[in-house]
Amino acid sequence: MNIIRDILLFILIITFSLLTQSLHAEESPAVSGNDSDIVKIYEADIIVRGFISRPFLTLTMRHYTPNDEENNSQVIRYAPNTLALWGASISWQGFGFSFGLDSPKSEKDETKYGNTKYYDFQLSFYGQQFGFDGYYQNYKGFYLLQPEKYGYMAGSAEALRPDIAAKTIGCNIFWSFFDKFSFSAAFDQSQRQTATAFSPLLMISFNQFSIESSYSLIPPSEESNYGKFAGYRGGDYTGIAVVPGFAITYIWNAYWYFSFAGFLGSGWMHKCDTTAEGNITENKPFGKANIRASFGYNDDDLFAGISGQFDFTASERTFRRNRNEEMTEVVALTGNIEIFIGKRY
């Protein structure tokens, strides 16, 4: 309940600030729609923002049988026990750094979902047509989602896995083909889009994630359904992908905006799975997707809104896969939803 109260308080602060700023902005003339005015750049400004964010990480295992044989396996999912973060960030000329403090968990939360220790660092640069973000995430302590499917109770020793550790490190480099669209205005507000614009995109993505555990992540009732991957205790996955995409920012009433960008493609991955029979090492295609969206208010001084980003990395490319091959797909889904308010100085 403390988290809900904090988020509602933060929303009220943002709403009051936006209403005050909107009344002031209405006195200013509207920005023209000429090409030279479509993106407004604040080169010398230092930008400070506060935020509440909710990070997400889900590990998913899905088994595929060869030649369309009967597949009785269940999808297995684990998640860490994370709550909202209070934080702040500062950026200058497109470079930004952010940090946050974890909200306290209740004893009830930890009894049901266990305790997770984690570090989450992000570094970003957004220009008008070029940008990148880098990240390092380290989580230890997970719980099994939907434990009743495997005969477990929520909060039981079998459903809580303090031994599972997951680490992700990577970066995404983006390029926008049309200079009328600004990635910076859409997703970190160091610029301002003054008219609706869109662009095709290209992203080069490097990602390395690893999973470790003391014993199998597969519940005993499912071990026989996972074939040669029975006893899976983790793995190392390193991949690089070149992914096309598309983005659009819609502007309403000069200062309100909605932005969306999506990437979908595949790349090449080196993977090493640790199973009961030993290590399985392969070099194979893998699937990659990235979606981000933002909605809010952005004028020359103040900006605020809500944004979300989700990154999907799968150890296998399951579309157009080799039907003769048995495989277990391991998916790392990371994400973040953020409510923010900021000011330019």
Buried b (16+ CB within 10 A) or exposed e, 187-220: bbbbbbbbbbbbbebebebebbbbbebeebbbbe
Q: Where are the domains of the chain?
A: 2-344
**Which residue in 268, 240, 238 sits closest to 167, CA to CA?**
238
DSSP state of 116: -
pTM of the model: 0.80
What is the C-alpha separation between 94 and 70, in angstroms, rounded?
Answer: 53
CATH of domain 2-344: 2.40.128
Per-residue model confidence (pLDDT) at position 123: 76
Q: Are 203 and 263 in contact (CB under 8 A)?
A: yes
What is the C-alpha separation between 74 and 225, in angstroms, rounded?
Answer: 8
pLDDT tens digits, 122-155: 777 777 788 888 888 899 999 999 999 999 999 9
* CB-count burial class (<10 Å; 0-12, 13-18, 19+) for 154: middle
Per-residue model confidence (pLDDT) at position 94: 61
Sign of CA dihedral 151, 155, 157, 161: positive
Q: Which residue intervals of the chain are DSSP H helices?
A: 2-25, 107-113, 183-187
Amino acid at 21: Q
Show the low-confidence residues of the chain (pLDDT under 70).
1-36, 43-44, 67-72, 94-96, 103-108, 317-324
Per-residue model confidence (pLDDT) at position 293: 95
Q: Are 191 and 40 in contact (CB under 8 A)?
A: yes
Per-residue model confidence (pLDDT) at position 10: 46
pLDDT tens digits, 260-272: 999 998 899 999 9
183 phi and psi angles, rounded to 5 deg: -65, -35
Q: What is the largest CA-CA distance in the chain?
A: 71
